[in-house]
Amino acid sequence: MANTTMRAIVAYPKEPGRVEMIDVERPALPAGHVMIAMRDVGTDATDREVIAAEHGGSAPDGGDYLILGHESIGQIAEVGEGVTGLNVGDWVVATVRRPDGCPNCRRGESDMCLWGGYVERGIIGAHGYLTEYVIEKPEFLVTLPPHLSRVGALLEPISINVKAIGQAWSIQRRMLWEPKTALIFGLGSIGILAGMMLRQRGIAAYLYSRSPADSPKARLLRDVGITYIATSDVPDIAALGDHIGRIDFMLEATGAAPVAAKAMGIVQPNAVLCLLSVTGGSAREEVDIAAVNKHLVLGNGVIFGSVNSNAGHFREAVQVLDGFEKTWPGFAERLISRRVPLDRFREGLEDRDEDIKVLFEVSAAE
Ligand code: BGC
Ligand code: ZN
């Protein structure tokens, strides 16, 4: 092989804030694995939290760095001995979490890990995808039809929503529940993709966020039938119920703990709130917990947290993404605000208000 090294974007868990592009050894391909040539890698708030050492961290193999990136799309570059069903050139997306030996992990649900001994590629204890070549086992890969490859990096955030929304719907089998209206907190890729999924289910979706109502990303929502509510129009979260009326399902995806706390106080009778932001650091706020508790008890309210997604959710996400392209052709591509080459990684990691999803272009398709 001509090149024995490859470029990688890495964080240093023991040095919060430090990110570098370094040369690392190009991995060998063991039997039973495939080598993936990474094409696009998405970034999100989790990457910034890992860099800041507010979440995840811990470098693998006794080293001092962690290769970042957990939202990926790549093409099979080489197929290891004994691997069937995958071919050079296939488009694949890798899941994020790798199991420990707990009962949930053993049945393929490492997203529901009981023991907490899992690792997550690009986040904690295992290298991620912000590099040129990645080695993986077929069981952690999902193939994508080529027509979805341009937006394939959205598969991971979609899979997060597939799990979260699926869980909410399973929980609500506890009674007669005919959801008609949903409220999403947060105008990021998770929030928008959730809104699109709910629209696909025929649910009226409202999305609440700080961006001005006439900002380009808020205006984008109209094209997929999501109603935007700016905080400047309804500053008090407690007033959202009066504004919208009956709300059956809420999803918190702002990353702001105070928003999550306020959302807990407005769960309507028989409704469910899904908490989806990993809030790093610490935030203190005075909450009337007696009132929140009483309100939840008297209303049979459910609040639950959801994290990660397994291969099954990724497979369902392929169907969801395909459905998006059929209903709103070309819209998913508009969620990609910027495409940045690997060597401009500092720019790519900047948190800009107008961004929805930023992708690193690691290499071009062959
Ligand atoms: C990722 C998940 C991961 C979670 C917690 C999220 O950004 O999408 O796969 O489990 O962070 O680390
Ligand atoms: Zn486990």
Query: What whole-number distance in Å separates Cα of residue 298 and Cα of residue 267?
Result: 11
Q: Ligand 2: distance of its center to the CA of 11 in Å?
A: 25
For 56, residues 6+ apart whose C-beta sits below 8 A from its C-beta are 46, 49, 50, 66, 120, 123, 124
pLDDT, residue 57, reads: 83
**pLDDT single digits (tens) 224-262:** 999 999 999 999 999 999 999 999 999 999 999 999 999
Average pLDDT, consecutive stretches of 10 residues, N- to C-terminus, the chain (366 residues)? 85 97 97 98 96 92 95 98 98 98 98 98 98 98 98 98 98 98 98 98 98 96 98 97 97 95 96 94 89 96 98 98 98 98 96 96 88
Q: Please give the number of the atom of ligand 1 that sits closest to the Cα of 156.
A: 8
CB atoms within 10 A of CB 186: 24
Nearest CA to ligand 1 atom 10: 308
Q: Does the beta carbon of 46 lie inside 6 Å of ligand 1?
A: yes
What is the predicted pLDDT for the residue at 2?
57
- Other C-beta atoms lying within 10 Å of the C-beta of residue 265: 17
- Closest listed ligand to the CA of 125: 1
Ligand 1 atom nearest the C-alpha of 55 is 12
Q: Per DSSP, which regions of 231-287 are E strands?
A: 249-252, 272-275
Q: State whether the beta carbon of 45 lies less than 6 angstroms from ligand 1.
A: no
Contact 185, 263 (CB under 8 A): yes
Determine the 3-state secondary structure of 290 from DSSP: helix
Q: What is the DSSP letter of 138?
A: G
CA of 309 to the centre of ligand 2 (A): 13
Task: Give the pLDDT of residue 281.
Answer: 81
